[in-house]
Amino acid sequence: MEGKMSISKFKPDTSTQSLIIGYNIDDFISTDHITRLIDEIVEELDTRKIEDKYSWQGQKSYSPKSLIKIIFYGYTIGVLSSRKIRNGCKQDLGFIYLARLYRPDFRTISDFRKNNIEELGEYFVAILKYCNELGLLKLGKIVIDGSKFRANASVKRSKDLKKYEEWEKKLQKEIALLNAESEKIDKEENERLSDPKTDGSEILKKIRKKGELINKIKEAKEKVKKVEEEYAAKKIKRKAKINLTDEDANIQKESGGIKKPGYNGQIAVNEDQIIIAAELTKTQEDSKELIPMIEAVEINTGEKVEEVKADSGYGNCANYEDLEERKIDGYVPDSGFKKLEEAKENGTLKPYDKNNFQYDEKNDKYVCPQGKDLEFIKEVKHDNREDVKIYKCKSCNECEARKICANDKNRIIERMINESCRDRMRDKLRSDEGKKKYKERSGLVEPPFGHMKMNIKFRQFLLRGLTKVRGEFKLICIGFNLMKIYNLKLAKVKM
């Protein structure tokens, strides 16, 4: 075994090979260039899982670490496509240095990324550990946010069961017409030639392609039916849709109201803007991701989260209750908080708005602005939103405000079961310290998404399927972190 291991499966390192007499590629890269950091980090990564996929037989392959380096560098500077990375290995000193003078073909780069995307995504945590060892990773306080990224799929191919059935019928009619045309060609050839040869090869290709598409549609229909069953079981009133190109992609509502098949990218950053957790989900709602993201941070870093900030998309009573149980100091407004505060400040809050009714927690009742009691009458359970308690006033008949307060009826108020958690969160956000802390949120967590979408132009995934796009999202976050680590390390040296 020792003898076998001494023979490498990979091409030799050529970094010391001379380009010009007396010089090699190392001489053309400054000692503080970001490629030096990437080279150092990747050399420390455990790449055995990838290396084990390679065979000892045949021509020697490019070193996995060499390919990882050029991919990481590409994602750091915004060169994402395999063709552009390939061109970089010919023209860009950074790529040339990391590729060790080799020029891998774009298919080699593309296949390596596609076939090892899960392993590449796993290096996200390994790089965090490297950062922590350098003393560059502040832990405890985090900010969470999400952003939508488009799938590599057309919205036209996201269909419900009815639309798929219509599409299938249309294709069957087209196949019938093509078959009729093919038979006509056969007949004409038979009449014209003694040794007939059908000249309908192009038509047969079209028939075959449409037949393959029908098979895909049938598979998609079965998947839509399963989703419909799941929705029915959960009492979700929504049409089940599956995208034929990327079945894991769900319709996501982007800024501006545009709806496209895509994914919801979630990140958690620390006070230095280093992404310490990165996850990708199919769900549209951010509120379901607050606790999973906190748990991901704690798994990735091995440290307990002490403080979390997030926007109103993450705010609900269940999350507030969970934060209190975990003893995490949260600054997460609910969806109605901003509007309520603006109404109070502008004097536009209606006098008999629910927020002007006082809740008596000890006696479990509300007291209206006229001093009358609204007593608890029942509890209502919901499948797709939080359970509520109903309070009703029985003294509205003799009240002078009945018309404007209850529209000539007895006033009824709903209160979520754990609404006290929301009230405590609102009180904290109203405090001077709460306002100051929440104001810090956008300046910490929004720049990473701004960098992804504006600086390196990453708005749509190249790969398809949840597993692969999760790995691709981690690559994007690795690229951002490498840039941040480089800047922090550089600043530390200059101090």
Amino acid at 357: F
**Residue 61 near residue 10 (C-beta atoms within 8 A):** yes
Strand residue runs (E) in 168-274: 242-243, 250-253, 259-269
As separate numbers, helices (DSSP H) first and strands (DSSP E) second, the chain gives 17, 15
pLDDT band at 19 (very low <50, low <70, confident <90, very high): low
Q: How far is CA 289 from CA 210, 241, 269, 469, in A?
A: 40, 22, 15, 18
Closest CA to 143 of 253, 307, 11: 307
Entry pTM: 0.85
Q: How far is CA 77 from CA 73, 105, 370, in A?
A: 6, 20, 64
Q: How far is CA 178 from CA 188, 192, 215, 331, 341, in A?
A: 15, 21, 18, 63, 65
CA distance 454 to 274: 18
pLDDT band at 256 (very low <50, low <70, confident <90, very high): confident
How do 329-331 and 307-309 pair as beta strands? parallel
Mean of pLDDT over the chain: 88
Among 306-310, 362-366, 486-490, the range scoring the smallest mean pLDDT is 486-490
212-242 pLDDT, tens per residue?
888 888 888 888 888 888 877 777 777 888 8
432-489 pLDDT, tens per residue?
999 999 999 989 999 999 999 999 999 999 999 999 999 999 999 999 999 999 998 8
**Residue 276 near residue 301 (C-beta atoms within 8 A):** yes
pLDDT value of residue 27: 82
The structure tokens listed for 474 are 């981690």
CA distance 181 to 183: 5
pLDDT value of residue 7: 53
Report how far Cα 197 is from the mean position of its chain's Cα atoms. 55
160-216 pLDDT, tens per residue?
888 888 888 888 887 788 777 777 766 666 666 544 444 557 777 888 888 888 888
Q: Residues 331-349, buried b or exposed e (16+ Cβ, 10 A)?
A: bbbbeebeebeeeeeeeeb
